[in-house]
Amino acid sequence: MKFEDLLLEIGGFGRFQILILAMLCLPRINLPMHFLLHNFLAATPSHHCAIPHQEAFVNLTAEEVLLISIPRKPDGTFSSCEMFSQPQFHLLLNSSLPPENKSIIQHCQHGWVYDHSQFTSTISTQWDLVCEQRGLNQATATFFFIGVTMGAMMFGYLSDRFGRKTMLQLSLVCSVAFGMLSAASVSYTMLAITRTLTGVALSGLSLIVLPLGMEWVDIQHRTFTGILSSIFWSVGNMLLALAAYLVREWHWLLVAVTGPCLLSILCMWWVPESARWLIAKGKVKQAHRHLLRCARMNGRKDFAVSPEALTSMATDKNMRGSYSYISLFRTPVLRKISLCSGVVWFGVAFSYYGMSLNLTGFGLSIYLSQFVFGIIEIPAKMVMYVLVNRVGRRPSQAWTLILTGVCIGANIVIPKSFTSLRSVVAVMGKGFSEAAFTTVFLYTSELYPTIVRQNGMGYTSFLARLGGALAPLVFLLDEVWRSLPEVTYCGVAVCSGAVAFLLPETLNARLPEGIEDIEKPQVKVPPEISAPEGVPLQALLK
């Protein structure tokens, strides 16, 4: 007997499953509020060198003081990182004149003055992470994603060994602790360390929430489950824009985005452990107890599968043995899946965060860009709900990645003056990018067997977070060539999309339980028996 058969007997998608998904959606909302927080936490407002003895220029306007103290860039704006060593009063007569001597231009000597009209404070203004220190500012996001990368490997292994729910609870508790410590940081070093540890903790949420939900639903509703979970990521995206708009001080913004984890901790006590995992580990009594609870809540009081029947499933040769990340590369088909899915995950995350962490490059305000980027993801996911069930997981994954790269590449050649067109193309690219991210979670959960599913998710998430860690650093390549970051994002997205064509299709296939289910040809369930019945799109809007 397969676990899908058990699910059908206890009502494969009833009140029990809906309640589980509702509980799991709460931490899903909180994830993007941390993953994309860098846009506001480390935002760099307009700034210029602090001018010494400015009070001496009492007869000059603020604009005239800047004119004689700060050199202009070729586009006519004042330099952010340079100043004159002595006032250039002759520029008051003709501002287009060059300085008397270029050697008097020097780097800022007395700190910087920031425009606080948009942000009360950020880590850039707190510790002057501008100009020569700009790299440290971008590195803040990298430190966070390095933590997520380490956490992916750690939680992937631990959740396969000790259980999904236990590791999810640990992840939430650590997320609250390290998030609050980040808000209390008194130095850049402390912030870098605590944000890295926050990334480690939050990786557990990112890694476990979707597979735990997927392991409790039947074949017909797997797509719906994946899309619904992903929609709540977009809700978190939009809430981040609102929180950042209302809270302009970086310490309190960190508190605001960390606080909701406390509610998730309370909700997780109700969420049951994965019965699939319990059976795979031979813990049939616990699995039987959860299955009975599910049957009662779904109105299936005639459920009569005994613990002995579950024991026979647990002792299946497919389910025996100890597994680790090495197991992902021992057999040929699983090895191919692991290599190709790793490339796809890297490309998905690299391009997604490349766009998401560049909110100032598309002609909209930073808050509006964040909100629009969040809201465009919802129709993108609606479309993916139809496509992954109609055309399949593989082509959907490949083409959404390729089209993401095409949109990024298009904005390289569209002139900066075409602000509206650039914004439209960027929003389209963000929609394709999120569609690719939505698909990859669902697709990967179906590719790996139960006994190594979290190991597989941990490995692919490791590569994704590596892409996320590198994405903000690529912005620094604009000093080599202004368009080099966009060219890099475009090339990686297109190439990883092409690799997705090498993966097997999982549409209508049972979730594999053991490695032998992967190595032998996948048996798809006949459409007349369990073809996706389709949930009306209106259901996603409820």
CATH code of the domain in which 210 resides: 1.20.1250.20
Residues 269 and 374 placed together within one structural domain of the fold? no
Q: Is residue 430 part of a domain?
A: yes
Tens digits of residue pLDDT in 36-53: 898 899 988 889 899 887
Name which of 158-172, 238-252, 456-470, 524-538 the model is least confident about.
524-538
Mean of pLDDT over the chain: 83
Average the pLDDT over 378-407 and give the result: 89
Give the per-residue pLDDT at 102. 65
**Side chain identity at residue 71, one-letter code:** P
Tens digits of residue pLDDT in 345-384: 999 999 988 887 776 655 567 888 888 878 888 888 888 8
Contact status, residue 334 vs residue 518, Cβ threshold 8 Å = yes
Q: Which two tokens stand for residue 307?
A: 């613990």
pTM: 0.75
Give the per-residue pLDDT at 314. 59
Contact status, residue 80 vs residue 45, Cβ threshold 8 Å = no
Question: Other C-beta atoms within 10 Å of 291: how many?
Answer: 26
Give the per-residue pLDDT at 382. 84
Give the per-residue pLDDT at 274. 85
Last residue of a domain, one of 289, 316, 343: 316
Average the pLDDT over 229-248 and give the result: 90
- Residue 473: pLDDT over 80: yes
Tens digits of residue pLDDT in 9-33: 887 788 888 898 888 888 888 888 9
Last residue of a domain, one of 316, 347, 373: 316
Give the per-residue pLDDT at 233. 84
Give the per-residue pLDDT at 394. 94
Residues 280 and 199 placed together within one structural domain of the fold? yes
Give the per-residue pLDDT at 244. 93
Q: Which contacts of 244-252 are long-range, i.e. CB under 8 A and separated by 24 or more positions?
A: 244/39, 244/40, 244/367, 244/370, 245/367, 248/118, 248/119, 248/120, 248/121, 249/120, 249/121, 250/40, 250/41, 250/119, 250/121, 250/122, 250/123, 250/126, 251/121, 251/183, 251/184, 252/183
Q: Please report which confidence band the pLDDT of residue 313 belongs to, taking 50, 70 and 90 as the band edges.
A: low
Residues 291 and 336 placed together within one structural domain of the fold? no
Residues 295 and 405 placed together within one structural domain of the fold? no
Domain that holds residue 153: 1-30+132-316
Residues 290 and 162 placed together within one structural domain of the fold? yes
Q: Is residue 528 part of a domain?
A: no
Instruction: For residue 529, give every residue at least 6 positions away whose Cβ sits within 8 Å of its Cβ, in sequence order, or none.
Output: none
Average the pLDDT over 229-253 and give the result: 91
**CB environment 470-484: b (16+ within 10 A), e (fewer):** bbbebbeeeeeeeeb
Residues 4 and 142 placed together within one structural domain of the fold? yes
Residues 349 and 498 placed together within one structural domain of the fold? yes
- Match 């497919």 to its residue by tokens: 318
Give the per-residue pLDDT at 1. 59
Q: Is residue 122 part of a domain?
A: no
What values do phi and psi take at 362, rounded to 5? -125, 15
Residues 509 and 365 placed together within one structural domain of the fold? yes
- Residue 291: pLDDT over 60: yes
Q: Is residue 534 part of a domain?
A: no
Instruction: For residue 183, give every residue at least 6 positions away whose Cβ sits within 8 Å of its Cβ, in sequence order, or none.
Output: 251, 252, 254, 255, 258
Angstrom distance (rounded) from CA 361 to CA 407: 14
Average the pLDDT over 105-120 and give the result: 89
Q: Is residue 41 part of a domain?
A: no
- Residue 159: pLDDT over 90: no
Q: Is residue 160 part of a domain?
A: yes
Average the pLDDT over 498-515 and give the result: 86
**Secondary structure of 461-519 in the HEC alphabet?**
HHHHHHHHHHHHHHHHHHHCCCCHHHHHHHHHHHHHHHHHCCCCCCCCECCCCCHHHHH
Q: Please report which confidence band the pLDDT of residue 395 belongs to, taking 50, 70 and 90 as the band edges.
A: very high
- Match 């389209």 to its residue by tokens: 428
Average the pLDDT over 520-528 and give the result: 52
Angstrom distance (rounded) from CA 53 to CA 16: 70
Strand partners, 78: 72
Name which of 32-46, 110-124, 153-167 the model is least confident about.
153-167
Residues 244 and 110 placed together within one structural domain of the fold? no
Residues 433 and 511 placed together within one structural domain of the fold? yes
Residues 380 and 507 placed together within one structural domain of the fold? yes
- Residue 188: pLDDT over 90: yes
Q: Is residue 491 part of a domain?
A: yes
What values do phi and psi take at 110, rounded to 5? -130, 25
Angstrom distance (rounded) from CA 59 to CA 53: 13
- Residue 526: pLDDT over 70: no
Give the per-residue pLDDT at 317. 46
**Side chain identity at residue 146, one-letter code:** I
Give the per-residue pLDDT at 339. 94
Contact status, residue 163 vs residue 215, Cβ threshold 8 Å = no
Beta strands (DSSP E) in 88-177 are 105-107, 112-114
Give the per-residue pLDDT at 528. 42
Average the pLDDT over 273-279 and give the result: 85
- Residue 305: pLDDT over 80: no
Residues 308 and 328 placed together within one structural domain of the fold? no
Instruction: Name the more confident of 231 and 319.
Output: 231
Instruction: For residue 289, give every residue at least 6 positions away whose Cβ sits within 8 Å of its Cβ, in sequence order, or none.
Output: none
Average the pLDDT over 233-261 and give the result: 92
Q: Is residue 526 part of a domain?
A: no
- With a pLDDT cut of 70, the percent of the chain lying above it is 91
Counting the structural domains of the chain, the total is 3
Average the pLDDT over 227-235 and give the result: 84
- Residue 527: pLDDT over 60: no
